């Protein structure tokens, strides 16, 4: 694939249609050639690792995901979101789009940051989980949704690509709505290793198919276990992923290699 990140930054993994970079996204995003990326999907830190409890596999466990998910307060969280969204805007092509998923802990800051940084929100997708973990405290409703915002540059000439017909086909011949219902990530998608917040592949495949054409370049600045890359490769798109945890990039690399192997068979 064409090199769009400065050659001074060594790739953690490089293959024909995928590259992974280990490091801080704030540094690596700055090294991307402006206006070279067709679509960005980001699942940034939620800042919910506050020592609370949740339920996993029927057991009471800590909600803490890792040091990367600990917040420094409202102002710091919003500044964090504004900074990486600003860098993503520079990397995106004029007609490119960005999808950002989040929970109630960060999605309002993200929506605001998108508008402040020159994006126009196209859709507010609600991902409704069919098998959410139960609410142990029983003091509020069970959390069973996440939000995915889809946005384009707020420029009168910007025309985002939307594969309307494909989405209609996937929805049995009827217009697709903005509520997507489905299960949590299947164990079969975690065979290459576990990530605490791994997204299901069906969600990312829908996003990739809806907003990109074959061969286009997808970037994920917080790629974790590489779900976006897996979807991009399965749909014959190119992929660049960044994460600052080597153990997660190892999972990403194994998943991408497995798909490339399947595609060669
Ligand atoms: C919510 S997880 C993404 C999970 C991913 N969507 C998946 O399906 O596996 C966020 C990821 O961002 C990474 N991260 C947090 N801060 C980062 C930073 N400043 N630079 C690069 N990666 C970062 C974490 O290591 C974590 O893997």
Q: Confirm whether 2 is domain-assigned.
A: no
pLDDT of residue 55: 65
Q: Confirm whether 71 is domain-assigned.
A: yes
Q: Confirm whether 136 is domain-assigned.
A: yes
Q: Confirm whether 6 is domain-assigned.
A: no
Q: Is 225 in the pocket of ligand 1 (CB under 6 A)?
A: yes
pLDDT of residue 177: 98
pLDDT of residue 50: 66
Q: Confirm whether 3 is domain-assigned.
A: no
Q: Is 24 in the pocket of ligand 1 (CB under 6 A)?
A: yes
Cα radius of gyration rounded to whole Å, the chain: 18
Q: Is 25 in the pocket of ligand 1 (CB under 6 A)?
A: yes
Dihedrals φ, ψ of 231, to 5°? -65, -40
Ligand 1 atom showing the smallest separation from residue 199 Cα = 8
pLDDT of residue 56: 73
Q: Which helix (H) or strand (E) holds 255?
A: helix 246-264
Q: Is 147 in the pocket of ligand 1 (CB under 6 A)?
A: no
Q: Are 198 and 189 in contact (CB under 8 A)?
A: yes
Which of 222, 240, 255, when mutated, tests ligand 1's pocket best, judged by the most ligand atoms within 8 Å of its CB? Answer: 222
Residues of the chain falling short of pLDDT 50: none
Task: Please count the CA atoms within 13 angstroms of the CA of 227 that sit on its side-chain side.
Answer: 26
pTM of the model: 0.94
What is the CATH classification number for the domain harbouring 221? 3.40.50.150
Interval 56-91: pLDDT, tens: 777 777 777 777 667 678 999 999 999 999 999 999
Q: Confirm whether 35 is domain-assigned.
A: yes
Q: Confirm whether 114 is domain-assigned.
A: yes
| Strand 92-102, strand 37-42: pairing | parallel
CA distances, 109 to each of 89, 90, 228, 247 (Å):
17, 20, 23, 28
Q: Confirm whether 140 is domain-assigned.
A: yes
Q: Are 129 and 183 in contact (CB under 8 A)?
A: yes
Q: What range defines the domain where residue 205 resides?
A: 13-264
Q: Determine the distance separating the centroid of ligand 1 and the alpha carbon of 22, expressed in angstroms.
A: 11
Total domains present in the chain: 1
């Amino acid at each position: 694939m064409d090199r769009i990140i400065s050659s001074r930054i060594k790739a953690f993994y490089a293959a024909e249609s995928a590259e992974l970079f280990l490091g801080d996204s704030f540094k690596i995003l700055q090294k991307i050639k402006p206006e070279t990326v067709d679509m960005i999907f980001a699942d940034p830190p939620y800042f919910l690792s506050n020592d609370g409890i949740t339920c996993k596999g029927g057991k009471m466990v800590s909600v803490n995901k890792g040091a990367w998910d600990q917040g420094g307060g409202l102002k710091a969280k919003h500044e964090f979101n504004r900074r990486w969204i600003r860098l993503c805007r520079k990397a995106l092509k004029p007609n490119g789009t960005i999808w950002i998923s989040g929970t109630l802990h960060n999605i309002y800051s993200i929506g605001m940051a998108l508008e402040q940084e020159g994006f126009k929100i196209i859709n507010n997708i609600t991902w409704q989980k069919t098998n959410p973990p139960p609410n142990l405290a029983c003091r509020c409703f069970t959390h069973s949704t996440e939000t995915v915002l889809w946005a384009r540059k707020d420029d009168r000439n910007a025309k985002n690509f939307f594969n309307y017909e494909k989405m209609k086909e996937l929805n049995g011949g009827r217009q697709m709505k903005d509520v997507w219902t489905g299960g949590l990530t299947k164990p079969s998608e975690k065979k290459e290793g576990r990530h605490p917040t791994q997204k299901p592949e069906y969600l990312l495949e829908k996003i990739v198919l809806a907003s990109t054409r074959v061969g286009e370049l997808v970037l994920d600045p917080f790629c974790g276990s590489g779900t976006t890359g897996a979807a991009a490769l399965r749909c014959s798109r190119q992929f660049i992923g960044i994460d600052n945890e080597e153990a997660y990039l190892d999972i990403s690399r194994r998943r991408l290699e497995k798909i490339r192997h399947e595609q060669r068979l």
